[in-house]
């Protein structure tokens, strides 16, 4: 009886605890699109133009085809708002869509309409009653009056300088527009157009308010007829910030680690076997990969790099040689080189491969089967070839049409396409080349990078991260934030992680001209750092860069530029974990300006914008190692050892002075921080010299004791300045973690 009563009490307490647990803050933006117009999500304007600024504001985007059943309230618990950017003025069921949208606004979701609302008629041409449209718009505090097709006598009477003319002024001849009236005084107009001088004709074309926002069709951005020139009329960051009320949302940040901009680099294996034309190596008949190894990898142990060979370039059953194998083993054994895979046969056109192989999907229970002895056991070669012939039938895949500019579906078609071989087979083969304790950590997508959901799922099931695609540039040739890619591509329920910057292939017209072109990468790096840090520093290239002197010069020039910056270098798989963490992170509001951060995977930075006057309330926080103000934002560094840290903010000067040191910025990752008034200790690892800045007691003297295991390896004397800035550099390599104790001299508490 007593036992039963105890069980009942414990169950009640557990239920009460569950009821008290705060729900995660909704930070998903539901992007409604018409799949009849956009068969591929990557081509939608929301993905190409809006998703990046939404990501920067801390929002993740989930796409929903309006041709399918509209989401239920239970399916929208994590949704903060809805965005539409349709091509036409029609959709399959406009009345149903408007009624659903009205219910969503009533439930607290913000609704953002860009361009056509797409509800004038259904696909059969039946017109939607204007009263139904205005009933929906009234929920947003708006009303459509009429359509203005002729604009010669229309002129701008007000434009918000913070919103309009961001990258390009409005055109002299204004686009036709729906004349919108404001019904709710809380709605703010950022662009007003008037006919002649008649105030009664005023039209509001860029609006934000407590229920969302509106931008008239043609008033978002300029695009040439070929879509190869883009420039924003509106400031998308400001518009989306106001329309979705982003200021009260902590931003999971993918650009920064330990207070510094993230650096990562990856090399795809394309051109591994190409003979170099670089004069100093051509006589030796070295491969392009060997030149990259000698010029760009060996001399830069402070800058980690992820190398993804194409297994077919190394496998002796394909095109591998002893020299190629030996070079791969030497390269991948270096401690600052992470092993990736760039597939087995190098698919160029993933879409066509799956269209012509509709049954192709990685096997659910395996990630690849291969018996491999390389050159040491010749009989395995015959066995493997027999297995290939037995398990697969030859296909004539390259006779079908291919997409996105490729003339072939794969670089190597020695054997039929097999997704198990591309993922698990390549990983298994490459793992056989690695030293003990090392393994392939990431898939680096090839060709179009448009991998299907089944391949992404198999990759995740194998414990691998994934990366590539995106092609971000921001320079005089691609002179708009519209060319800056979002973090990832939604593929069913999976995510393909994009690279942060374009590789040299984009700068050299697919390695056909301007072999020096990659030297212009720093322009994009600078413009994605200032005036807003919107991307990390990513150096992404191919082994064929070692073929030409201008190509290898561009790579080494970019590496030297990286050395001149304050960066936090990490591996490509760590960056992919950061992006995965962006999508999985949950923010639970515990009270005013206090949040718990859950399920963040590899993400360890939370950003607060417009936070010059804010700081961490250390007494009310837990699992926080540091803070840094930069560009008007507050970057809060989390302890990777704490899986549910708590961040509390307070106005600067409104909390007691800090009595324990905290991190300002570091080249290395810092974790397991334990702080006291006169000492602190932590674990740290990273690449290059361990440059660090801490906030501590002004003018205090410290001993920095660095240990590996039980052995003291370094003892540094450091002194804080009058502001309490304590800087020191640890010289001991820390690719494996070091324990660091910092003791204030003369104080042994």
What are 652-673's pLDDT values in tens digits? 887 766 568 999 999 999 999 9
State how far the Cα of 669 lies from the Cα of 449, in Å rounded to an integer: 31
Q: Is the pLDDT of residue 455 over 50?
A: yes
Q: Strand (E) positions, 507-572?
A: 537-542, 567-569
Q: What is the pLDDT of residues 572-609, one digit of tens each?
A: 999 999 999 999 999 999 999 999 999 999 999 999 99
Q: What is the pLDDT of residues 127-154, one digit of tens each?
A: 999 999 999 999 999 999 989 898 999 9
Q: Are 467 and 443 in contact (CB under 8 A)?
A: yes
Entry pTM: 0.92
**Helix H or strand E encompassing 592:** none
583 to each of 59, 487, 489, 576, how far by Cα in Å? Answer: 9, 10, 11, 11
CATH number for the segment(s) 28-249? 3.40.50
* Of 419, 417, 491, the residue nearest 462 (C-alpha): 419
* Of 301, 218, 246, 220, the residue nearest 57 (C-alpha): 246
State how far the Cα of 625 lies from the Cα of 396, in Å rounded to an integer: 57
pLDDT at 14: 47
- For the chain, the domains span 28-249, 261-572, 578-744
Count CB neighbours of 71 within 10 A. 16
State how far the Cα of 385 lies from the Cα of 392, in Å rounded to an integer: 11
CATH number for the segment(s) 261-572? 3.20.20.370
- 405 falls in which pLDDT band (50, 70, 90)? low
Which three-class secondary structure state does DSSP give residue 583? helix
Angle between helices 130-138 and 94-106 (to 10 degrees): 20
Whole-number percent of the chain with pLDDT over 90: 83
pLDDT at 551: 98
pLDDT at 451: 94
317 to each of 58, 190, 321, 370, 390, how far by Cα in Å? Answer: 47, 64, 10, 11, 16
pLDDT at 407: 78
């Amino acid at each position: 009886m007593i036992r039963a009563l105890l069980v009942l009490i414990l169950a009640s307490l557990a239920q009460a605890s569950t009821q008290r647990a705060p729900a995660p803050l909704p930070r998903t933006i539901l992007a409604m699109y018409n799949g009849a117009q956009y068969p591929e999500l990557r081509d939608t304007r929301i993905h190409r133009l809006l998703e990046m600024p939404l990501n920067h504001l801390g929002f993740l985007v989930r796409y929903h085809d309006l041709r399918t059943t509209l989401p239920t309230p239970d399916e929208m618990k994590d949704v903060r708002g809805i965005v539409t950017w349709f091509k036409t003025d029609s959709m399959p069921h406009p009345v149903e869509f408007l009624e659903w949208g009205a219910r969503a606004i009533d439930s607290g979701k913000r609704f953002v309409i860009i361009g056509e609302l797409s509800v004038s008629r259904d696909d059969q041409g039946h017109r939607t009653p204007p009263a139904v449209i205005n009933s929906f718009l009234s929920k947003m505090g708006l009303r459509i009056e009429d359509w203005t097709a002729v604009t010669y006598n229309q002129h701008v009477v007000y434009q918000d300088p913070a919103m309009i003319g961001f990258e390009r002024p409005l055109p002299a001849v204004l686009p036709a527009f729906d004349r919108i009236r404001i019904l709710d005084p809380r709605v703010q107009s950022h662009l007003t157009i008037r006919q002649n001088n008649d105030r009664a004709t005023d039209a509001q074309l860029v609006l934000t308010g407590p229920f969302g926002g509106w931008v008239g069709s043609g008033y978002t951005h300029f695009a040439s007829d070929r879509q190869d020139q883009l420039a924003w009329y509106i400031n998308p960051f400001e518009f989306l910030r106001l329309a979705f009320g982003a200021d009260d949302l902590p931003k999971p940040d993918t650009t920064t680690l330990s207070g510094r901009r993230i650096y990562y680099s990856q090399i795809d294996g394309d051109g591994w076997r190409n003979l170099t034309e670089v004069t100093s190596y051509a006589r030796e008949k070295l491969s392009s990969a060997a030149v990259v190894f000698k010029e760009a990898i060996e001399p830069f142990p402070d800058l980690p790099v992820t190398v993804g060979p194409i297994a077919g370039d190394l496998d002796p059953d394909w095109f591998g040689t002893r020299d190629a194998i030996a070079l791969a083993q030497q390269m991948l054994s270096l401690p600052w080189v992470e092993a990736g895979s760039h597939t087995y046969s190098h698919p160029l056109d993933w879409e066509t491969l799956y269209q012509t192989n509709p049954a192709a999907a990685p096997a659910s229970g395996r990630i690849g089967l291969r018996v491999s002895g390389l050159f040491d056991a010749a009989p395995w070669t015959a066995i493997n070839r027999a297995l290939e012939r037995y398990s697969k039938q030859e296909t004539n895949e390259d006779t079908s049409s291919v997409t996105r500019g490729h003339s072939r579906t794969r670089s190597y078609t020695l054997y039929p396409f097999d997704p198990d071989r591309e993922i698990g087979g390549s990983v298994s083969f490459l793992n056989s080349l690695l030293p003990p304790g090392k393994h392939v950590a990431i898939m680096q997508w090839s060709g179009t990078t448009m991998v299907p959901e089944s391949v992404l799922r198999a990759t995740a099931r194998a414990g691998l991260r994934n990366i590539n695609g995106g092609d971000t540039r921001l320079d005089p040739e691609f002179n708009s934030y519209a060319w800056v890619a979002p973090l990832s591509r939604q593929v069913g329920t999976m995510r393909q992680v994009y690279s942060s910057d374009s590789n040299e292939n984009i700068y050299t017209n697919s390695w056909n001209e301007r072999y020096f072109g990659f030297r212009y990468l720093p322009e994009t790096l600078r413009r994605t750092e200032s005036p807003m840090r919107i991307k990390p520093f990513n150096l992404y290239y191919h082994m064929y860069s070692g073929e030409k002197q201008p190509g290898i010069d561009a790579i080494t020039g970019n590496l030297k530029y990286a050395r001149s910056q304050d960066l936090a270098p990490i591996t490509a798989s760590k960056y992919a974990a950061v992006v995965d963490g962006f999508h999985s992170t949950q923010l639970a509001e515990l009270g005013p300006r206090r949040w718990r951060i859950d399920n963040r995977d590899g993400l360890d930075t939370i950003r607060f914008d417009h936070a010059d006057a804010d700081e961490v309330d250390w007494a009310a926080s837990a699992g926080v190692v540091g803070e840094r103000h930069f560009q008007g934002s507050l970057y809060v560094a989390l302890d990777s050892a704490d899986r549910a840290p708590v961040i509390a903010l307070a106005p600067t000067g409104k909390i007691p002075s800090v009595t324990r040191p905290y991190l300002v910025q570091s080249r290395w990752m810092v974790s397991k921080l334990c702080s006291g008034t006169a000492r602190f200790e932590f674990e740290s690892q990273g690449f290059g010299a361990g440059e660090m800045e801490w906030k501590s007691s002004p003018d205090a003297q410290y001993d920095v004791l660095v240990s590996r295991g039980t052995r003291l390896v370094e003892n540094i004397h450091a002194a804080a300045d009058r502001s309490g800035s304590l800087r020191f550099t640890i010289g001991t390599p820390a690719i494996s973690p070091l324990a660091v104790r910092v003791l204030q001299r003369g104080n042994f508490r």
